[in-house]
Chain A
Amino acid sequence: MKSAQEELIARTRKLAEEVAGVAAEACTLMEVCGTHAHQYARYGLGELLPERVTLLSGPGCPVCVTTAGEIDATLELARIPEVTIATFGDMVRVPGSESSLAHERARDADVRVIVSPIDAVEMAECGEREVVLLGVGFETTMPSVAVALREARDRDVGNFTVFCAHKRLLPALDALMAAPDVQLDGLLAPGHVSTIIGWAAYREFVARHHVPCVVGGFEPDEILRGVLALVRQLAEGRAEVENAYPGTVSEDGNPRALALIDEVFEPCDASWRGLGMIPEGGMRLREEYAQFDALKRFGVEVGEGAEHPACQCAEVLRGAIRPVECRAFSNACTPANPLGPCMVSSEGACAAAFRYGERPGGMSESGGKQ
C-alpha cells in the first residue's frame, strides 16, 4: 500500500502534467499567501510546472509587508521602561531602521512571544506592567486580536493596549495590479484569509481587472489544483473567481469572525512594504476601543523608517524579482543575519527559498526524485 505521502506526490505530479497539457501560452501567476510561498519552495513546485507557467510569490506574508516605520514604532514602544511587548514570534528578529525587538530585548526591553492574543490580556491582568500587543496580520489574525480587545474591555484591563498594524488584503491586490513592474495573468488567492472573507469577496476585484482568481488550499496538490483552474480559465479566455478549496472556504466566509473584526476595527489608509500607501489597506481601532490604542497611550508615531539599502524585499513582495535575484541573498543576508523581513518570517519568500534552496526536478523534500 502506498503511504499518504507517496499518494500526495503522485497526485501532485499528475496535476503538474495536467497543467502542462492545458497551459498553451506563457503566463505569470502569483500566490498571495505566506504558506503557499513556503510550500512552493518546499516541494519545488516551480520545477514541476512547465517553464511557460511562472508562479511568483506576492505580498502574502503579514510580517513582511509591515513597514520599517511600523517596526521602528514597535521598538520605540519596547524602549518605554514600563512596557512589555507581547508579539507573535515572527516579529522579534525583523530589522527596523537601526535595531530589532531581539536587540532591544538584549538591552533589557521586556519582549514576550505569545501564541494567542488572549495570553497578552491575561499577562496584563496578572501584572502591573503595560502590556502592548503587536497587532500584525491580515484578516486571518484580526478576529483573534478582536477577541482579545473585547475581553480586555469586558474585564476592564486598563494596562493592555494594541499597536494596530493590521493590513487588509483586497486593497493590496488592487495596488499590485497597478504596479508598473509586474504583469500578472492570474491570482492564487490565500486560503486562510479567504476562510474569513469568503471567496465571493474577490468578485469585484476580478470584474475590475479581468484577471482570473482562484482560492487554493495549502498542500502541494491543492496548490496545483488552483494553478490548474487558473490556466484553464486563461486557455478558455475566462476571468472568474473560483474556489478550488471547497469544504474549508465558503462563499461568504466566516460571518462570526467578520462580525468580530467589524466590532473592533475600521478600515484606514495604510502603508505596505513594497506597495506604498494603499487606500483602506489597513485597519485601525474604532472609537469605542480608542482607549486601547498603544500609539495614543504612549504618544508614539509611525514615521517613514529606513529599509536596509541592500535589501530588495519591496521588489520581492511585488513579485518583481525572485529572492535569489536579490544581490544580498544568501551572502549578506541569511536567516542568521537577516537584512529584511522576508528572510526572517517563516512565511517570507526569502526564508523559504533559503531553507529549501533550488529543487531541480521538484518534490525532493518529500522523498521524490532528486
Chain B
Amino acid sequence: MCVAPPFRIVELDGNTAVVELGGSRSTARVDAIEDPQVGDYVRVHAGLAITKLDPDKAREDLVLFRELGML
C-alpha cells in the first residue's frame, strides 16, 4: 500500500464504486470526490477515493508500476 497506484472506476452505484487495477476489481467509496464518473482514475486510500487523477499521468504511472512488478 506504500505508493498508491491509480484505480479506475468501472461501475458506480450511488456512493459505492467498483474500481479496477491491473485486472483485479474491488469496491471503493466515492463520497469524497466531486462528480465521480465511470472511467475516472482515482487515488484510493483505506477504501475511499480521495482524489481524481489526471488520466494521462495515471496511465504513465500504470506503465511504471507494471515495469516495477508492483501490479
Contacts and interface: CB of A to CB of B under 8 A. Distances in A.
Main secondary structure of the interface of A (DSSP, over half): helix
A141 B54 CA distance: 22
Contact of B63 (A4, A117, A145, A347): A4
Interface in B9-65: 26-29, 31-34, 43, 45-48, 50-51, 53-54, 57, 60-61, 63-64
B33 to A, nearest CB: 7
Contacts of B3: 35, 38-39, 218-219
B51 A254 contact: yes
Contact of A115 (B4, B47, B54, B63): B47
Nearest to A88: B46
B57 A256 contact: no
Contacts of A144: 29, 45-48
B43 A118 contact: no
Given A5-B68, A254-B50, A256-B34, A118 B57 contact: no
Contacts of A140: 45-46, 50
A144 B1 CA distance: 16
A116 B63 CA distance: 26
Nearest to A145: B46
B47 A119 contact: yes
Contacts, number: 86
Contact of A143 (B50, B53, B54, B63): B50
B3 to A, nearest CB: 5
Interface string A89-123: 00000000000000000000000000111110000
Interface in A335-360: 346-347
A147 interface: yes
Interface of A: 3-5, 8, 34-35, 38-39, 88, 115-119, 137, 140-141, 143-145, 147, 192, 195-196, 218-219, 247-248, 254, 256-257, 260, 346-347, 366
18 contacts: A3-B67, A34-B2, A35-B3, A38-B3, A39-B2, A88-B46, A115-B46, A116-B46, A117-B47, A119-B47, A143-B32, A147-B32, A218-B3, A247-B53, A256-B32, A257-B50, A260-B31, A347-B2
